[in-house]
Amino acid sequence: MKKIEAIIKPFKLDDIREALGEQGITGMTVTEVKGFGRQKGHTELYRGAEYMVDFLPKVKIEIVLTDDMLDMCIETIMKTAQTGKIGDGKLFVYDVEQVVRIRTGEMDEAAI
């Protein structure tokens, strides 16, 4: 089993959720996060004063899935999240050793 963490632009979330749903992936965890990479933030004007915004708003999507769905999921997220501009985001893939559904006690792939 694998866990994908995707850091994306917030306005792409609904598109990604729909695209993954069409592929049969319905479970995910979404968190609003802030960060920066090569984008490095930007300056904004507030009440006449300019200030630096170091951390930009992003969304983190976490998905646990079976190994056979990994490539399709990565491809779907990449295709859907891509704008061609800096700050489109990153994907991280981790191995998952065990999953347990608390309510039923189901384990591993049955618990996904």
**Alpha-carbon distances of 73 from 33, 42, 92, rounded to whole Å:** 21, 31, 12
Nearest one of 20, 90, 96 to 64, comparing CA atoms:
96
Q: What is the pLDDT of residue 45?
A: 63
Long-range contacts of 49-56 (CB under 8 A, 24+ apart): 56/87
Q: What is the pLDDT of residue 75?
A: 97
Dig out the tokens for 77 from the structure.
Answer: 């997220």
Give pTM, 2 decimals. Answer: 0.84
N-to-C CA span, the chain: 9
pLDDT in tens, 26-79: 899 999 998 877 766 666 666 777 666 677 889 999 999 999 999 999 999 999
Dig out the tokens for 29 from the structure.
Answer: 């965890």
Q: What is the pLDDT of residue 44?
A: 60
